[in-house]
Amino acid sequence: MVIVVGNQKGGCGKTMIATNLAAALAGKGKDVILFDADRQESASKWVAERGEYQSDSPVINIGMGYDNISFTLKDLRKRYEVVVVDAAGRDSDEFRTSAIVADILLIPVKPSKVDVKVLPSFLQIVKQAMFVNDALKVFAFISIAPTHSKNKEIEQAREIIQRISDFTLLDTVIHDRKGFRDAFGDGLGAVECNTDKLAKVEIESLIAEVLNGF
Protein backbone atom coordinates (compact mmCIF):
# COMPACT_ATOMS: atom_id res chain seq x y z
CA MET A 1 0.00 0.00 0.00
CA VAL A 2 1.30 3.44 -0.94
CA ILE A 3 0.01 6.38 1.12
CA VAL A 4 0.97 9.85 -0.08
CA VAL A 5 0.67 12.86 2.22
CA GLY A 6 0.66 15.99 0.11
CA ASN A 7 -0.51 19.54 -0.39
CA GLN A 8 1.07 22.30 -2.44
CA LYS A 9 0.77 24.66 0.53
CA GLY A 10 3.53 24.35 3.10
CA GLY A 11 2.99 24.57 6.85
CA CYS A 12 0.01 22.21 6.89
CA GLY A 13 1.70 19.52 8.97
CA LYS A 14 2.49 17.23 6.08
CA THR A 15 5.72 15.78 7.48
CA MET A 16 4.26 15.53 10.96
CA ILE A 17 1.36 13.49 9.60
CA ALA A 18 3.62 11.25 7.51
CA THR A 19 5.97 10.46 10.39
CA ASN A 20 3.11 9.84 12.81
CA LEU A 21 1.41 7.49 10.36
CA ALA A 22 4.65 5.58 9.89
CA ALA A 23 5.20 5.29 13.65
CA ALA A 24 1.62 4.23 14.36
CA LEU A 25 1.54 1.60 11.62
CA ALA A 26 4.96 0.25 12.60
CA GLY A 27 3.62 -0.04 16.14
CA LYS A 28 0.83 -2.22 14.77
CA GLY A 29 3.43 -4.61 13.40
CA LYS A 30 3.37 -3.38 9.80
CA ASP A 31 6.55 -3.40 7.74
CA VAL A 32 6.80 0.31 6.97
CA ILE A 33 9.08 2.48 4.87
CA LEU A 34 8.88 6.26 5.05
CA PHE A 35 9.79 7.78 1.69
CA ASP A 36 11.11 11.33 1.85
CA ALA A 37 10.38 13.16 -1.42
CA ASP A 38 10.80 16.63 0.06
CA ARG A 39 14.20 18.25 -0.45
CA GLN A 40 14.04 19.75 3.04
CA GLU A 41 14.61 16.16 4.25
CA SER A 42 12.72 16.64 7.53
CA ALA A 43 11.33 13.10 7.46
CA SER A 44 14.80 11.66 6.87
CA LYS A 45 16.18 13.61 9.82
CA TRP A 46 13.33 12.29 11.99
CA VAL A 47 14.20 8.69 11.06
CA ALA A 48 17.89 9.37 11.79
CA GLU A 49 16.96 10.76 15.21
CA ARG A 50 14.79 7.74 15.84
CA GLY A 51 17.54 5.32 14.88
CA GLU A 52 20.08 6.99 17.14
CA TYR A 53 18.01 7.61 20.26
CA GLN A 54 14.95 5.31 20.05
CA SER A 55 16.49 1.90 19.51
CA ASP A 56 13.67 0.18 21.40
CA SER A 57 10.99 1.61 19.09
CA PRO A 58 9.69 -0.30 16.04
CA VAL A 59 11.99 0.03 13.06
CA ILE A 60 10.94 2.40 10.28
CA ASN A 61 12.95 2.18 7.10
CA ILE A 62 13.71 5.32 5.10
CA GLY A 63 13.93 5.99 1.38
CA MET A 64 14.62 9.18 -0.51
CA GLY A 65 14.06 10.27 -4.07
CA TYR A 66 13.21 13.25 -6.24
CA ASP A 67 11.75 14.13 -9.64
CA ASN A 68 9.96 11.08 -11.11
CA ILE A 69 9.56 8.67 -8.19
CA SER A 70 6.75 6.53 -9.61
CA PHE A 71 8.98 3.59 -10.57
CA THR A 72 10.70 3.61 -7.19
CA LEU A 73 7.37 3.57 -5.36
CA LYS A 74 6.09 0.70 -7.50
CA ASP A 75 9.17 -1.30 -6.51
CA LEU A 76 8.84 -0.42 -2.82
CA ARG A 77 5.18 -1.48 -2.84
CA LYS A 78 6.37 -5.02 -3.60
CA ARG A 79 8.87 -4.98 -0.74
CA TYR A 80 6.92 -3.37 2.13
CA GLU A 81 3.42 -3.59 3.54
CA VAL A 82 3.14 0.19 3.74
CA VAL A 83 4.97 2.97 1.92
CA VAL A 84 4.28 6.41 3.44
CA VAL A 85 5.36 9.24 1.14
CA ASP A 86 6.14 12.73 2.42
CA ALA A 87 5.72 14.68 -0.83
CA ALA A 88 7.17 18.12 -1.46
CA GLY A 89 4.99 21.02 -0.30
CA ARG A 90 4.37 22.53 -3.72
CA ASP A 91 3.23 21.55 -7.21
CA SER A 92 6.17 19.22 -7.78
CA ASP A 93 7.18 16.32 -9.98
CA GLU A 94 7.53 14.32 -6.77
CA PHE A 95 3.90 14.84 -5.85
CA ARG A 96 2.51 14.31 -9.34
CA THR A 97 4.46 11.10 -9.96
CA SER A 98 3.67 9.69 -6.52
CA ALA A 99 -0.07 10.38 -6.86
CA ILE A 100 -0.34 8.39 -10.10
CA VAL A 101 0.80 5.20 -8.35
CA ALA A 102 -0.61 5.77 -4.83
CA ASP A 103 -3.46 3.86 -3.24
CA ILE A 104 -4.37 6.66 -0.84
CA LEU A 105 -3.78 10.41 -0.93
CA LEU A 106 -4.12 12.34 2.32
CA ILE A 107 -4.48 16.12 1.99
CA PRO A 108 -3.91 17.99 5.27
CA VAL A 109 -5.43 21.47 5.13
CA LYS A 110 -4.60 24.18 7.63
CA PRO A 111 -7.83 26.04 8.54
CA SER A 112 -6.74 29.50 7.40
CA LYS A 113 -8.06 31.69 4.61
CA VAL A 114 -4.71 31.58 2.80
CA ASP A 115 -4.50 27.79 2.86
CA VAL A 116 -8.10 27.19 1.85
CA LYS A 117 -7.85 29.80 -0.91
CA VAL A 118 -5.09 27.90 -2.75
CA LEU A 119 -6.81 24.53 -2.37
CA PRO A 120 -8.85 24.62 -5.62
CA SER A 121 -5.73 24.78 -7.81
CA PHE A 122 -4.23 21.83 -5.94
CA LEU A 123 -7.43 19.83 -6.31
CA GLN A 124 -7.20 20.27 -10.08
CA ILE A 125 -3.78 18.61 -9.96
CA VAL A 126 -5.28 15.79 -7.90
CA LYS A 127 -8.04 15.26 -10.44
CA GLN A 128 -5.45 15.04 -13.21
CA ALA A 129 -3.72 12.28 -11.24
CA MET A 130 -7.02 10.46 -10.87
CA PHE A 131 -7.46 10.38 -14.65
CA VAL A 132 -4.33 8.22 -14.73
CA ASN A 133 -4.88 6.42 -11.42
CA ASP A 134 -8.60 5.72 -11.16
CA ALA A 135 -8.05 3.57 -8.05
CA LEU A 136 -6.71 6.50 -6.03
CA LYS A 137 -8.67 7.22 -2.85
CA VAL A 138 -8.48 10.87 -1.79
CA PHE A 139 -9.13 12.16 1.72
CA ALA A 140 -8.87 15.74 2.96
CA PHE A 141 -8.78 16.68 6.62
CA ILE A 142 -8.18 19.70 8.83
CA SER A 143 -4.64 19.85 10.22
CA ILE A 144 -2.67 22.21 12.50
CA ALA A 145 -6.01 23.40 13.83
CA PRO A 146 -6.25 25.81 16.77
CA THR A 147 -7.16 24.17 20.06
CA HIS A 148 -9.24 27.08 21.35
CA SER A 149 -12.81 25.81 21.63
CA LYS A 150 -14.34 29.13 20.53
CA ASN A 151 -12.25 29.44 17.37
CA LYS A 152 -14.50 29.31 14.28
CA GLU A 153 -11.79 28.64 11.70
CA ILE A 154 -12.22 24.86 11.70
CA GLU A 155 -15.91 24.87 10.90
CA GLN A 156 -15.52 27.67 8.36
CA ALA A 157 -12.73 25.74 6.59
CA ARG A 158 -14.79 22.53 6.58
CA GLU A 159 -17.73 24.33 4.98
CA ILE A 160 -15.54 25.76 2.22
CA ILE A 161 -13.77 22.45 1.53
CA GLN A 162 -17.09 20.62 1.26
CA ARG A 163 -18.29 23.26 -1.17
CA ILE A 164 -15.28 23.23 -3.50
CA SER A 165 -14.36 19.54 -3.35
CA ASP A 166 -16.09 16.25 -4.09
CA PHE A 167 -13.40 14.30 -2.21
CA THR A 168 -14.02 12.74 1.20
CA LEU A 169 -13.58 15.21 4.07
CA LEU A 170 -12.67 13.28 7.19
CA ASP A 171 -14.25 13.90 10.57
CA THR A 172 -10.83 13.67 12.22
CA VAL A 173 -9.18 16.99 13.02
CA ILE A 174 -5.46 17.13 13.80
CA HIS A 175 -4.82 20.01 16.19
CA ASP A 176 -1.68 22.07 16.72
CA ARG A 177 -0.49 20.26 19.83
CA LYS A 178 2.80 20.47 21.68
CA GLY A 179 2.74 16.70 21.97
CA PHE A 180 3.25 16.36 18.21
CA ARG A 181 6.21 18.74 18.25
CA ASP A 182 7.84 17.07 21.25
CA ALA A 183 7.45 13.59 19.77
CA PHE A 184 8.84 14.69 16.41
CA GLY A 185 11.91 16.20 18.02
CA ASP A 186 12.63 12.88 19.74
CA GLY A 187 12.18 10.75 16.63
CA LEU A 188 8.87 9.36 17.90
CA GLY A 189 5.23 9.38 16.93
CA ALA A 190 2.49 10.69 19.20
CA VAL A 191 1.20 7.14 19.74
CA GLU A 192 4.56 6.25 21.31
CA CYS A 193 4.44 9.03 23.92
CA ASN A 194 2.31 9.44 27.02
CA THR A 195 2.78 13.19 27.30
CA ASP A 196 -0.20 14.16 25.13
CA LYS A 197 -3.01 11.62 24.99
CA LEU A 198 -5.15 13.83 22.74
CA ALA A 199 -2.46 13.85 20.04
CA LYS A 200 -2.35 10.06 20.22
CA VAL A 201 -6.14 9.82 19.94
CA GLU A 202 -6.18 12.07 16.87
CA ILE A 203 -3.62 9.98 14.97
CA GLU A 204 -5.43 6.77 15.89
CA SER A 205 -8.69 8.34 14.70
CA LEU A 206 -7.10 9.31 11.39
CA ILE A 207 -5.85 5.78 10.80
CA ALA A 208 -9.17 4.24 11.77
CA GLU A 209 -11.12 6.53 9.47
CA VAL A 210 -8.84 6.06 6.47
CA LEU A 211 -7.66 2.45 6.80
CA ASN A 212 -10.66 0.84 8.52
CA GLY A 213 -8.65 -1.37 10.85
CA PHE A 214 -5.76 -2.16 8.48
* Cα–Cα distance measured from residue 162 to residue 160, given in angstroms and rounded to the nearest whole number: 5
Other CB atoms within a 10 A radius of the CB of residue 117 amount to 11
pLDDT for residue 90: 73
pLDDT for residue 60: 97
- For the cut 90, the answer to whether the pLDDT of residue 171 exceeds it is yes
Break the chain down into helix, strand, coil percent, rounded to 5.
Answer: 45, 20, 35
Instruction: Give all strands (DSSP E) within 2-115, no chain letters.
Output: 2-5, 32-37, 61-64, 82-87, 104-109
Superfamily name with CATH number, domain 2-211: P-loop containing nucleotide triphosphate hydrolases (3.40.50.300)
Confidence of residue 213 (pLDDT cuts 50, 70, 90): low
- For the cut 90, the answer to whether the pLDDT of residue 212 exceeds it is no
Q: What is the pLDDT of residues 101-120, one digit of tens each?
A: 999 999 999 999 888 988 99
Nearest C-alpha neighbor of 20 from the set 50, 55, 41? 50
pLDDT for residue 133: 97
Q: What is the pLDDT of residues 120-158, one digit of tens each?
A: 999 999 999 999 999 999 999 999 999 987 778 999 999
- For the cut 90, the answer to whether the pLDDT of residue 72 exceeds it is yes
Q: Give the mean pLDDT of 23-28.
A: 97
- For the cut 70, the answer to whether the pLDDT of residue 214 exceeds it is no
pLDDT for residue 96: 96
Give 214 or 139, the one with higher predicted confidence.
139
pLDDT for residue 134: 95
- For the cut 90, the answer to whether the pLDDT of residue 54 exceeds it is yes
Question: DSSP secondary-structure letter at 55?
Answer: T
In the chain, where the domains are located: 2-211
Beta strand 32-37 pairing with 104-109: unpaired
Complete edge-to-edge strand list for the sheet that includes strand 104-109? 61-64, 32-37, 82-87, 2-5, 104-109, 137-145, 168-175
- For the cut 90, the answer to whether the pLDDT of residue 211 exceeds it is yes
* Cα–Cα distance measured from residue 4 to residue 33, given in angstroms and rounded to the nearest whole number: 12
As a whole number, the mean pLDDT across the chain is 94
pLDDT for residue 6: 95
pLDDT for residue 84: 98
Q: Give the mean pLDDT of 82-111.
A: 93
